[in-house]
Amino acid sequence: MTSEEESQVNQSILDRVEALGGGYVRDAEVFAVNLMGVALDDDEARPLCGLLSIQQIALDASQLSYGTINALPRIGGLQSLVLGRRALSDSQRSELGRLGPSVIEVDA
């Protein structure tokens, strides 16, 4: 996929992020999405899995199923996933930890 095609794929998802009330930073050094103030459901969160070359996703995970949460760390290149308002079990933490990116739980 060319960088232009990658940019088009990302932009359609990022437009949806903004429509939901979230934001993003995308420049030469950082690509991050922030949806911490938005209580997403599974259907709203799943498209994030299509992001290419994203480094960080931060979101309110209070309404997400574990299946959706488990899909997010599988995004290629993701370095950190910040989950707000969601307590994971020890076994879930362990499973997500094996997928690669850092998974951080916050109360916000």
pLDDT at residue 23, rounded to an integer:
98
Range of the domain at 7: 3-106
Torsion of CA 5, 9, 50, 41, to 10 degrees: 180
pLDDT at residue 29, rounded to an integer:
92
How far is the CA of 17 from the CAs of 2, 64, 70, in angstroms? 23, 16, 19
Q: Can you tell me which residue has the tokens 């899995």?
A: 49
Specify the CATH number for the domain of residue 75: 3.80.10.10
Q: What is the tens place of the pLDDT at every residue in 25-84? A: 999 899 999 999 999 999 999 999 999 999 999 999 999 999 999 999 999 999 999 999
Q: How many domains does the chain have?
A: 1
